[in-house]
């Protein structure tokens, strides 16, 4: 029988019910277990087999009454996760034991103490880390950020935690079909938001790619299917082209006596989709649908030399695009990735990306961190991962990393691609892409950051917000009179710089607030009121502030005028605050809480019941009936409807899942919705007439706005129209595309 797919223990539906009898099930479980042992065979030492069996039996017993909604025994999931750890990540025996036990402490009667007693403190710590990660999901956001910090602290103690979690997430994504639609959206968003970038940072490129593709399959199903279909249709043609491209290179490499492999790899669906969106081109115009990979079997001392020799042979045969050369041999990425990438002009005028690496580099590219540590032990190399973990530890130790911004800061600081820059003495510093001179100043030392007034890049004066590029050499200019200001937070991307700026601003605020505190004390005493906890809390509440510090600061900076206090009464020594009259809220902007009872929210249908449930349409994506949508309970604005492919959807679904409600449209031809189209075509006489005839004449659709710009024989137009639903919009797009001279018609988000 084929390998049985498992899902998360919340898995859904009644489709494809598991029909094996008890005996067959046992055989199926044993088959998975034996396959796992077979994969581990090269890594087994004396006594390991017994430990793995012990972990398997412990997990199987603990989960024995648990089944998925598909009917499948739960134990198949931990077995599948362990298999991914061994086969796809390259982890060993202890990680296998942790993968088998990863859900036991959270979901069964087994305690952490039981695990520690059986397998020791190291394995118990990893299982504890995995249990904490599971608790991140479905909590409020500030709690989520707090939990995420705990995960990262565990990660920096033992990176295996995150590697096993990535294996768990990958298996859940591979088997996401069993989940409800809203759960699919939440898990897919979270995956593309945190887990795929984390896999990338761990050097697990194939896992990162698969996580992105699987997320896209659920978040952008139509686009995913369309690209998959086109890739399948063009496969034969691509294979023919790859063979034609490779033939002369093989001859050269053979003549040079290289031991090598050379093959073509298709780009992932997600990366093709990104290119289509970013460059606004059709699938047919994406030139690098595949990459050619050359893998050399070279001795360690000749690796660099051989890669450059092969680069020379390739560029002798095909012309390179110099600006597309990426040299990660001289400066490997911080996740250990080493390779040479170049883009060359191949036959038939097509650009082709070529990646050159050795077998060792390839293993690091495929297995990431696990392979990296293996080679580190063999060659005792300086370790970039340790530096990265050190940076994370430093940021996590700051008291101010519990805000809602934490996840976003972590992404930009630690999951982005990096650049390499140099100090005046030639020391290399690694910073995330987008870093500024100010980030660099804080990276050197906090004291240098807070006093930074400018910088010199390659001896040329630049402002503190100057964006750095790889290879820049930077000298920081400081002044003892300089102090950080609020706008500095917009000039930095690294978490370290942000935290240090916030610390400095807080310290400055405290000093100023002392004056405000003194002014307030005198004012209250003159009124006969006490400077007491009760009175301060009353004033904080009255001025709608968050803390006494804010109150004192605003008094000191004259933002609050204490003359208003004469309207207050004093009873004894207590202030009696005048209460503002209640404000009548318009139903369109604020929905009543009863509308968001979780039970009801599952049943909201837009269109027919729009009179019962107040909602607004998101300005960022302007959904129309027929679009795949979700509702988001916003504080202050009630229910807001977003498209699932809205630019903000990923962040909302990943970080605020508990505020997302399931929604769908009902047919309602009475209401029209504003949407927009962008049209590009050849500037021809009467083109506007043709377009308006189709919209107003043929389809009787109301036009809200029309603007056309023409330049050098091409025109670009934007049209805002009122449509009833997605079908009507698709019909309009199809009719416009069929007009002579029209090149592209795309939906865009209207501003109003």
CATH code where residue 115 lies: 1.10.3210.10
Kindly state whether residue 439 falls inside one of the protein's structural domains. yes
CATH of the domain at 420: 3.10.20.30
Q: In this prediction, what percent of the chain has a pLDDT beyond 70?
A: 79
Kindly state whether residue 643 falls inside one of the protein's structural domains. yes
Which residues are registered as beta bridge partners of 420?
Answer: 430
Kindly state whether residue 566 falls inside one of the protein's structural domains. yes
Do 477 and 553 fall into the same domain? Answer: no
Residues 46-63 have a mean pLDDT of 88
Backbone angles phi, psi at 443, to 5 degrees: -65, -30
Sheet containing strand 638-643, edge to edge, reads 615-617, 638-643, 629-634, 660-662
Kindly state whether residue 317 falls inside one of the protein's structural domains. yes
Do 425 and 478 fall into the same domain? Answer: yes
Predicted pLDDT of residue 397: 56
Do 481 and 540 fall into the same domain? Answer: no
- Which of 351, 379, 407 is where one domain is finished? 379
Report the range of poorest mean pLDDT among 285-289, 555-559, 593-597: 593-597
Kindly state whether residue 305 falls inside one of the protein's structural domains. yes
pLDDT digits (tens, 9 = 90+) for 289-323: 778 999 999 998 899 999 999 999 999 999 998 88
Kindly state whether residue 66 falls inside one of the protein's structural domains. yes
- Which of 379, 403, 431 is where one domain is finished? 379
Do 612 and 535 fall into the same domain? Answer: no
Supply the pTM of this predicted model. Answer: 0.63
How many Cβ atoms from other residues are within 10 Å of residue 146's Cβ?
A: 16
Do 140 and 110 fall into the same domain? Answer: yes
Q: Which of 377, 333, 37 is nearest to 204 (CA)?
A: 333
Cβ atoms 655, 192 nearer than 8 A: no
Residue 404 has pLDDT above 80, yes or no: no
Sheet containing strand 474-478, edge to edge, reads 460-462, 452-457, 474-478
Kindly state whether residue 62 falls inside one of the protein's structural domains. yes
Q: What is the mean pLDDT of the chain?
A: 78
Do 53 and 156 fall into the same domain? Answer: yes
Do 156 and 263 fall into the same domain? Answer: no
Helix (H, G, I), strand (E, B) or coil at 58: helix
Cβ atoms 578, 539 nearer than 8 A: no
pLDDT band at 138 (very low <50, low <70, confident <90, very high): very low
Do 477 and 538 fall into the same domain? Answer: no
Residues 48-57 have a mean pLDDT of 90
Do 27 and 99 fall into the same domain? Answer: yes
Residue 4 has pLDDT above 80, yes or no: no
Number of domains making up the chain: 6
Do 700 and 744 fall into the same domain? Answer: yes
Q: Give catalytic residue positions.
A: 106-107
pLDDT digits (tens, 9 = 90+) for 336-356: 788 999 999 988 888 889 999
Q: Are strands 664-665 and 714-723 parallel, antiparallel or unpaired?
A: unpaired
Residue 393 has pLDDT above 70, yes or no: no
Q: Give CA angle at 83 (80, 84), nearest 5°.
A: 90
Predicted pLDDT of residue 395: 60
Predicted pLDDT of residue 586: 34
Chain center to CA of 535: 45
Boundaries of domain holding 534: 503-576
Kindly state whether residue 398 falls inside one of the protein's structural domains. no
How many Cβ atoms from other residues are within 10 Å of residue 692's Cβ?
A: 13
Cβ atoms 458, 472 nearer than 8 A: yes
pLDDT digits (tens, 9 = 90+) for 547-581: 888 888 888 888 887 777 777 777 777 777 665 54
Do 659 and 681 fall into the same domain? Answer: no
Cα–Cα distance, 463 to 562 (Å, whole number): 40
Do 38 and 172 fall into the same domain? Answer: yes
Neighbouring residues of 697: CB distance < 8 A, sequence distance ≥ 6 = none
- Which of 179, 200, 215 is where one domain is finished? 179
Sign of CA dihedral 206, 210, 211, 212: positive
């Amino acid at each position: 029988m084929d390998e049985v797919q498992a899902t998360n223990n919340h898995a859904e539906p009644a489709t494809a019910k598991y029909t094996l009898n008890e005996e067959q099930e046992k055989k199926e479980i044993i088959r998975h277990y034996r396959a796992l042992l077979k994969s581990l065979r090269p890594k087994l030492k004396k006594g390991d087999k017994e430990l793995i069996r012990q972990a398997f039996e412990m997990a199987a017993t603990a989960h024995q009454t648990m089944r998925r909604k598909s009917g499948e025994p739960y134990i198949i999931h931990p077995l599948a996760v362990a298999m991914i750890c061994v086969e796809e990540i390259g982890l060993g025996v202890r990680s296998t034991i942790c993968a088998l036990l990863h859900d036991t402490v959270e979901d069964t009667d087994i305690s952490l103490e039981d695990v520690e007693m059986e397998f020791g403190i190291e394995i118990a710590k990893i299982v504890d880390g995995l249990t904490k990660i599971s608790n991140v999901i479905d909590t409020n956001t500030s709690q989520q950020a707090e939990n995420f910090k705990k995960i990262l602290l565990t990660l920096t103690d033992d990176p295996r935690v995150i590697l096993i979690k990535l294996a768990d997430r990958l298996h859940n994504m591979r088997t996401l079909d069993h989940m409800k639609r809203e759960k699919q959206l939440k898990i897919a968003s979270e995956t593309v938001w945190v887990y795929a970038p984390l896999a990338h940072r761990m050097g697990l490129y194939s896992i990162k790619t698969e996580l992105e593709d699987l997320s896209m399959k659920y978040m952008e199903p139509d686009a995913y299917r369309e690209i998959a279909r086109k890739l399948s249709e063009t496969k034969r043609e691509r294979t023919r082209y790859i063979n034609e491209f490779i033939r002369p290179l093989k001859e050269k490499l053979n003549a040079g006596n290289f031991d090598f492999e050379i093959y073509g790899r298709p780009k992932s669906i997600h990366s093709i989709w990104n290119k289509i969106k970013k460059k606004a081109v059709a699938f047919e115009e994406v030139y690098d649908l595949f990459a050619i990979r050359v893998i050399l079997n070279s001795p360690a001392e000749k690796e660099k030399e051989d890669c450059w020799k092969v680069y020379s042979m390739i560029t002798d045969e095909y012309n390179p695009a110099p600006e597309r050369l990426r040299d990660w041999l001289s400066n490997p990425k911080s996740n250990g990735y080493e390779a040479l990438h170049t883009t060359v002009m191949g036959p038939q005028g097509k650009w082709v990306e070529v990646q050159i690496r050795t077998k060792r580099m390839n293993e690091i590219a495929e297995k990431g961190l696990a392979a990296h540590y293996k080679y580190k032990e063999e060659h005792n190399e300086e370790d970039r991962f340790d530096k990265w973990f050190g940076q994370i530890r430093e940021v996590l130790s700051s008291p101010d990393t519990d805000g809602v911004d934490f996840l976003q800061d972590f992404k930009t600081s630690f999951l982005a691609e990096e650049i390499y820059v140099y100090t005046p003495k030639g020391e290399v510093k690694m910073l995330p892409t987008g870093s500024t001179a100010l980030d660099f100043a804080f990276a050197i030392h906090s004291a240098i950051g807070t006093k930074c007034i400018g910088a010199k890049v390659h001896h040329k004066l630049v402002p503190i917000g100057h964006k750095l590029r790889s290879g820049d050499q930077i000298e920081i200019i400081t002044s003892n009179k300089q102090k950080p200001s609020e706008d500095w937070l917009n000039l930095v991307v690294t978490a370290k710089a942000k935290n240090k700026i916030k610390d400095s601003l807080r310290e400055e605020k405290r000093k100023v607030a002392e004056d405000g505190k003194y002014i307030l004390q005198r004012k209250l005493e003159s009124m006969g009121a006490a400077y007491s906890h009760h009175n301060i809390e009353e004033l904080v509440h009255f001025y709608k502030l968050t803390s006494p510090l804010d109150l004192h600061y605003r008094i000191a900076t004259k933002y609050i005028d204490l003359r208003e206090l004469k309207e207050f009464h004093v009873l004894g020594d207590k202030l009696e605050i005048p209460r503002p009259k209640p404000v009548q809220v318009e139903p369109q902007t604020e929905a009543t809480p009863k509308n968001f009872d979780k039970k009801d929210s599952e049943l909201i249908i837009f269109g027919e019941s729009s009179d019962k449930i107040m909602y607004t349409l998101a300005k960022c994506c302007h959904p129309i009936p027929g679009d795949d949508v979700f509702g988001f309970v916003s504080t202050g604005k009630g229910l807001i409807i977003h498209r699932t492919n809205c630019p903000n959807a990923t962040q909302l679904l990943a970080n605020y899942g508990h505020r997302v409600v399931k929604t769908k449209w009902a047919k309602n031809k009475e209401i029209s919705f504003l949407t927009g189209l962008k049209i590009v075509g050849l500037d021809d006489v009467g083109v506007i007439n043709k377009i308006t005839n189709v919209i107003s004449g043929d389809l009787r659709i109301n036009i809200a706005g029309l603007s056309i710009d023409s330049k050098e024989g091409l025109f670009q137009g934007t049209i805002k129209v009122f449509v009833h639903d997605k079908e009507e919009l698709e019909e309009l797009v199809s009719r416009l595309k069929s007009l002579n001279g029209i090149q592209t018609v795309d939906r865009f988000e209207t501003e109003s």
